[in-house]
Amino acid sequence: MPKLMVAELPLIVEISESARKVAGNVLKELEVSSAVLLTGRKSYELVGAKIEERISDFISSRFFIEKSGMEEVRRIEMGITYTDIDCVVGIGGGKVLDVAKVLASEMNIALINIPTVASHDGIASPVASFKENGKPVSISTKPPTAVLADLVILRHSPVRLLRSGFGDLISNITAVKDWKLAKEKKNEVFNEVAASMAVMPANLMLSSEGLNLKENVEMLVRGLILSGVAIAIAGSSRPASGAEHKFSHALDYLGYGNGTHGEQVGIGTIIMEYLHEKQYGVGDWEKVRQSLEKIQAPTMAKEIGLTREEVIEALMYAKNIRKKRYTILEDANPDREEFEVILSKTGVA
Ligand SMILES: [Zn+2]
């Protein structure tokens, strides 16, 4: 029997100026009878309380998410024992939506995500990023059943987080190049649909004139949602995670700097695009850097509290992360001296 691949995708995606107002309709459409609301204290104050008011008939309990991790998932599971919950509604940032994803997957019930920030592609992806014992771990989940991306809410989110979302989106450019490389060199399965979904919005934003995140928030969040769906279609994070993510994971493992995920992968994208360009003549690392500069995202290591030595250490360490995921780092295999040159040439450190 040939292997049959079935990808689970979000059923409902709304990106609009009033997406926050349609949660009630979505709950009805999904025939939900009793939902648990997960939110953050700040998100609740800013938008969650108003949304909850509109859907109060459906909400049987509410929990404030304090941290990300399995312990938090267990706490909520204990809190809702013996109630007939058939839906999770998540209103908040990464922490809240990650806990919501794992909870809904474990309970095998619907999930409605209402993001209050657009700082990475986890909004719609079937992956949760947890920290266990201080170390980052990725957990596979089901994708959210519905994603309601409200542009008014997102436009008012902190600009640093919008910049981070841009970094995570353009990282798809090097991630997909790495994936193609793995297909050519290691015969890895490659999915053209997933690759295009991930890379096209990234290129669109990279090339748009007069790039302004507050004005282009719709383009940004659409790109991040498509990234998440691309991950679901590919059945792995390949379309949105290559060498630039290995670099970011290395920083997380080593505990270096104070950058957000998107800031770290943004800088990683400059470095890996440089490597691709040098090795294969395809790419434009200067364009990547300029786009980050245009939106005032960090392009230099020191802007996210990293020394040159720490960046080099992280790059060396990155080669040991997920060795099976073939990327430009394994392909070009630069040594310490070569990294020194790259950091000088790109102006990263
Ligand atoms: Zn990412």
Domain boundary among 104, 129, 155: 155
Is 165 in the same domain as 106? no
Is 132 in the same domain as 274? no
Q: What are phi and psi of 308, to 5 degrees?
A: -60, -40
Within-domain flag for 114: yes
Amino acid 2: pLDDT: 63
Query: How far does the centroid of ligand 1 lie from the alpha carbon of residue 139, in Å?
Result: 14
Does the structure show a pLDDT above 90 at 90? yes
Is 218 in the same domain as 328? yes
For residue 124, the domain's CATH number is: 3.40.50.1970
For residue 221, the domain's CATH number is: 1.20.1090.10
Domain holding 289, by residue range, is: 159-346
pLDDT, one tens digit per residue, over 1-33 is 566 777 899 999 999 999 999 999 999 999 999
Query: How far does the centroid of ligand 1 lie from the alpha carbon of residue 47, in Å?
Result: 25
Amino acid 66: pLDDT: 93
Is 68 in the same domain as 169? no
Domain boundary among 131, 155, 179: 155
Is 48 in the same domain as 181? no
The CA radius of gyration of the chain, in Å to the nearest whole number, is: 20
pLDDT, one tens digit per residue, over 61-86 is 999 999 999 999 999 999 998 789 99
**Would you place residue 209 in the very low, low, confident or very high pLDDT band (cuts 50, 70, 90)?**
confident
Q: How far apart are CA 258 and CA 86, in angstroms?
A: 38
Is 125 in the same domain as 214? no
Query: How far does the centroid of ligand 1 lie from the alpha carbon of residue 229, in Å?
Result: 13
Within-domain flag for 125: yes
User: Which is nearest to 117 in space by CA: 147, 157, 163?
Assistant: 157
Within-domain flag for 90: yes
Within-domain flag for 166: yes
Dig out the tokens for 333 from the structure: 């295999």
Query: How far does the centroid of ligand 1 lie from the alpha carbon of residue 124, in Å?
Result: 12
Query: How far does the centroid of ligand 1 lie from the alpha carbon of residue 91, in Å?
Result: 20
Is 212 in the same domain as 142? no
- The percent of residues in the chain predicted with pLDDT above 90, rounded, is 91
Q: How many domains does the chain have?
A: 2
- Which run of H or of E encompasses 154? helix 151-155
Amino acid 187: pLDDT: 97
Query: How far does the centroid of ligand 1 lie from the alpha carbon of residue 278, in Å?
Result: 24
Least confident stretch, 41-45, 104-108, 191-195, 322-326? 322-326
Query: How far does the centroid of ligand 1 lie from the alpha carbon of residue 269, in Å?
Result: 11
Is 147 in the same domain as 192? no
Is 165 in the same domain as 149? no
Query: How far does the centroid of ligand 1 lie from the alpha carbon of residue 302, in Å?
Result: 21
- Cβ count within 10 A of residue 152: 13
pLDDT, one tens digit per residue, over 191-204 is 999 999 999 999 99
Asked if 237 and 138 count as a contact pair (C-beta separation under 8 A), the reply is: yes
Amino acid 1: pLDDT: 56
Query: How far does the centroid of ligand 1 lie from the alpha carbon of residue 198, in Å?
Result: 12
Query: How far does the centroid of ligand 1 lie from the alpha carbon of residue 241, in Å?
Result: 6
Amino acid 327: pLDDT: 98
pLDDT, one tens digit per residue, over 223-276 is 999 999 999 999 999 999 999 999 999 999 999 999 999 999 999 999 999 999
CB-count exposure of residue 78 (10 Å: 0-12, 13-18, 19+): exposed
E runs forming strands in 72-225: 87-92, 110-115, 127-132, 135-140, 146-150
Is 193 in the same domain as 316? yes
Is 136 in the same domain as 234? no
b/e string for 242-276 if b means 16 or more Cβ within 10 A? bbbbbbbbbbbbeebbebbbbbbbbbbbbbbbbbb
Query: How far does the centroid of ligand 1 lie from the alpha carbon of residue 171, in Å?
Result: 7
Query: How far does the centroid of ligand 1 lie from the alpha carbon of residue 261, in Å?
Result: 7
Query: How far does the centroid of ligand 1 lie from the alpha carbon of residue 155, in Å?
Result: 20
Amino acid 196: pLDDT: 98
pLDDT, one tens digit per residue, over 120-154 is 999 999 999 998 887 888 999 999 999 999 999 99
